[in-house]
Amino acid sequence: MKVAFLDRDGTLIFEPPVTEQVNGPEQLRILPGVVEGLKKLIAEGFALVMVTNQDGLGSRSYPQKNFDAVQGALFKRLKKEGVQFYRIFICPHFPKEKCACRKPKVGLLKGFLKKASVDRGASIVVGDHDSDEEFAKNIGIRFYRMETNGAFPRFASLKRETKETAILAECNLDGTGAFSISTGLRFFDHMLEQFSKHSLIDLRIKAKGDLDIDDHHTIEDVGLALGETLKNALGERRGIKRYGFLLPMDDVLVECAVEKYGTNEHHKIEAIFKAFAKAMKDAVALDPRRKNELPTTKGVL
């Protein structure tokens, strides 16, 4: 079973910075990209599981009826979009109570993780706090971090198997340029690392192929898998800048060609990947002025 474990406040809905508590439906704000992101997770076969700390739930300072009203309004909106959660796990305790169920502890999920046969290698955790990241480590599942009250991260994963290759590709368009690349072709690895580093797109690629006869199958299939993964991560493409290019400084343009006696031209290839990375970084970036609009006059991309 492939599961997306999701935090609530600050990840799915706006978390008030002072109170850190949503006290009524009138305060409910679903964060940018959440609905599309959840739809995409469902389409990719993930079961959605909410895991949330709700300090003092049921106390005078946080009545149960307030929480229920917000939760009900949230699920009503999501249901209209075809989004439903498989399970909900809530810790109602204050940190000072030192319970066994508050994230990053895993007491809430021990039974579920055993009974549900969760595929930890394919599952994910999404959250906005260090406690969410530590929680992910404690249950052995990879973590996607987002800024508190920011846009829901745009990520995708893909497995592609042919007679020649077996490839796993994962990307996070809203990452920091972290990478883990292993194709068996070190120079190709380096080019993909350049792409990740300069585009700020987190990238994980593991590829196995027949390199003894010809390495072009691996290069070709990694390219296909990477392209499909980037496409899936972009989703409906709402709000993106769309165009990406490199612009020289306004007062100088320098072109430099280096040729040293016909030696290795790998610098050309390296420069292509760096330029591609910079262009991709600009093209997939979210433009705050576009909000949720498609960057086209045709109505579809």
> Which residues are designated catalytic?
7, 9
Q: Among residues 48, 43, 144, 58, which one has the least CA distance to residue 97?
A: 58
Burial of 282 (0-12, 13-18, 19+ CB in 10 A): middle
3-state secondary structure of 13: strand
Rounded Cα–Cα distance for residues 97 and 89 (Å): 18
What kind and span of H or E run contains 195?
helix 186-199
User: 35 and 78 in contact (C-beta within 8 Å)?
Assistant: yes
Q: What secondary structure does DSSP assign to 242-286, as a single string? A: --------TT--------STT---HHHHHHHHHHHHHHHHHHHSB
Token pair, residue 259, equals 């040729």
Rounded Cα–Cα distance for residues 80 and 17 (Å): 28
Cβ density class 240-254: b for 16+ within 10 Å, e for less: bebebeeeeeeeeee
Listed in sequence order, the residues at least 6 apart from 288 whose beta carbon sits closer than 8 Å to its beta carbon are none
C-alpha dist (Å) from residue 301 to 18, 86, 294: 40, 32, 8
DSSP 8-state class, residue 95? G
What kind and span of H or E run contains 141?
none
Give the per-residue SS3 of 274-298.
HHHHHHHHHHHCECCCCCCCCCCCC
